[in-house]
Amino acid sequence: MRATARRAAVATASVLLIATTATAQTRPPTTDAECQAIRQRLAGHAAASDGVRRLVAARATLPAPAAPPVAAPAAPAAPAPVSRVQEIRDRLAKIPAERQLLEDQRLAAMVRLDLARARQIQGQIDTLDAEKRRLESEATALPTTPPALPPTPPVVAAPAPSPPVAAASDVSRVRCSDVAGVYDEVVRIRQRELGAKEGQIGAIPLLTPSAQSGDQLARELADQFGPWPQSAAQVGLLDANGDGKLDGFVDVPAQGVYRVYRQRADGTLSVDVFPAAGATPVAEVVRRIEETSARQRSKSLTDLLATRPAGAVRVIAESPDFARARTSWLSGNFSDLTKLEGGAVRSTEFLNTRGETVRVIETVAPATNGFALRRLEVVPRPPGQEQWEDSVTIVRPVSVFRTDVEVAESRAIHAADGTAVGARVTTTPIRFTIER
């Protein structure tokens, strides 16, 4: 009965929190800057979702902007040698297609969070832009024979056309008094497309990142998440390809730290961490342990996402040393964890992106030549049952250059009253080494 009452209390609190937030979101913007900021977010989601594009087009009620006046053509200059003029004209005609192709490649690298490749491609774009400016400057200094060299070369379509994007005029034609309400509808559309429960408070459909560095990416993510500690109960849903499918997600394990889980093109899972300026980053050895463990255990994005909070987290019980132990783990301060007396434990309950009630018990305790991290995750499954997954990760710091890791895992199905259904399944322990 107490467990049922606890779950009812969490559900009630989450409903109230959703209602409160929805009211705040639908408040019309009071300044033009607020209106334009929401319109910019609408345009970002429209670029990735056909459903959003249709919604924005349906809500665009303002008159379409007038077409800009056509400038009068410049008077032709005196005749000049045709060969160089024609060379410049031919080259300028090719540059738009080359630049569009590079832009498509840069965008693809950014949505995969391959920042090094994105920076390399941006350098190629800058070089191409510099060449275009140089040629245009040279063209203006050369007289030409009729017809005169056009000031702007014709745009040549890229070999691989990008998916349709909502016209800027559609977004700009949504009234400022309506943009907040339209944005709420957009969030629900994107939640539904990416597998989250519609209206789930902590499930945030992310805009496609455009950052050129890890610091910029952290700032972009910070703008889309709430302030700490609210962000600890949120998870960002990433649609990297704009096809309405989940390609990754982002959680916030510590203040100002954004951890990105994504599915690479080869199907492998990766974990990347981007700290905001001034934040304490997650240690590289910890990131590699979490990434390797998830891969070795064949964890999918859906598996991992199901045990992330997307709503208010209720702490049922927590020992005094748990917060310090967790900070030591994230910072890679393993010596503190090997000396932890008696262990540290925390039990929490929250709603995931599907609106399901999840219970998690985390334990940190000393082990032979190291320490053990234990995590019991209880996730609902039909019909009226629960999956209990218990994983124990033993970390043994051999030296400053080497860390040995062993992961053991077991699963069991229980009825709602806690009675085991069938036999417990235990996997063979996984062992790997992290070298620095």
CA distances to 107, 116, 192, 389 from 119, in Å: 11, 5, 33, 41
Query: Which regions of 68-182 does DSSP assign to beta strands (E)?
Result: none
Inside any domain, residue 378: yes
Helix (H, G, I), strand (E, B) or coil at 286: helix
Amino acid 73: pLDDT = 58
Q: Are 182 and 42 in contact (CB under 8 A)?
A: yes
The per-residue pLDDT for range 154-189, each reduced to its tens digit, is 544 444 444 444 455 689 999 999 999 999 999 999
What tokens appear for 435 in the block?
């070298």
Whether the bond between 253 and the residue before it is cis, its omega within 30 degrees of 0, is no
Amino acid 77: pLDDT = 52
Distance of CA 295 to the CA centre of its chain: 19
Amino acid 121: pLDDT = 83
Number of domains in the chain: 1
Amino acid 112: pLDDT = 66
The C-alpha atoms of residue 55 and residue 185 are separated, in whole angstroms, by 8
- Apex 200 CA angle, 199 and 202, nearest 5: 130
Q: Name 265's Cβ contacts closer than 8 Å, sequence gap at least 6.
A: 112
Inside any domain, residue 382: yes
**φ/ψ of residue 3, rounded to 5:** -65, -40
Residue by residue, DSSP assigns 19-48 as HHHHHHHTSPPSSHHHHHHHHHHHHHHHTT
Beta bridge partners of 205: 237
Inside any domain, residue 214: no
Whether the bond between 383 and the residue before it is cis, its omega within 30 degrees of 0, is yes
Q: Which helix (H) or strand (E) holds 79?
A: none
The per-residue pLDDT for range 245-277, each reduced to its tens digit, is 899 999 999 999 999 999 887 888 999 999 999
The C-alpha atoms of residue 95 and residue 371 are separated, in whole angstroms, by 59
Those residues of the chain that have pLDDT short of 50 are 1-24, 80, 148-149, 155-166
**Residue 201: burial class (beta carbons within 10 Å; 0-12, 13-18, 19+):** buried
Inside any domain, residue 111: no
| CB contact burial 72-96 (16+ within 10 A = b; e otherwise) | eeeeebeeeeeeebeebbeebeebb
Eight-state DSSP code of residue 277 = T
The per-residue pLDDT for range 8-26, each reduced to its tens digit, is 444 444 333 333 333 345 5
Q: Name 102's Cβ contacts closer than 8 Å, sequence gap at least 6.
A: 121, 124, 125, 128
What tokens appear for 204 in the block?
């945030």
Inside any domain, residue 304: no
Amino acid 82: pLDDT = 59
Length of the chain, please?
436
Amino acid 96: pLDDT = 87
Neighbouring CB atoms inside 10 A of 262's CB total 20
Please give the single-letter amino acid code of residue 40.
Answer: Q
Amino acid 342: pLDDT = 82
Amino acid 71: pLDDT = 60
What tokens appear for 239 in the block?
């649609």
Q: Name 161's Cβ contacts closer than 8 Å, sequence gap at least 6.
A: none
Inside any domain, residue 363: yes
What tokens appear for 193 in the block?
């497309």
The closest alpha carbon to 422, from 386, 376, 390, 378, belongs to 386
Inside any domain, residue 132: no
Q: Is 147 left (phi over 0), alpha (psi -120 to 50) or beta?
A: beta
Q: Which domain holds residue 332?
A: 314-435
Amino acid 359: pLDDT = 97
- Only one residue has tokens 């967790």, namely 326
Amino acid 424: pLDDT = 93
Inside any domain, residue 347: yes
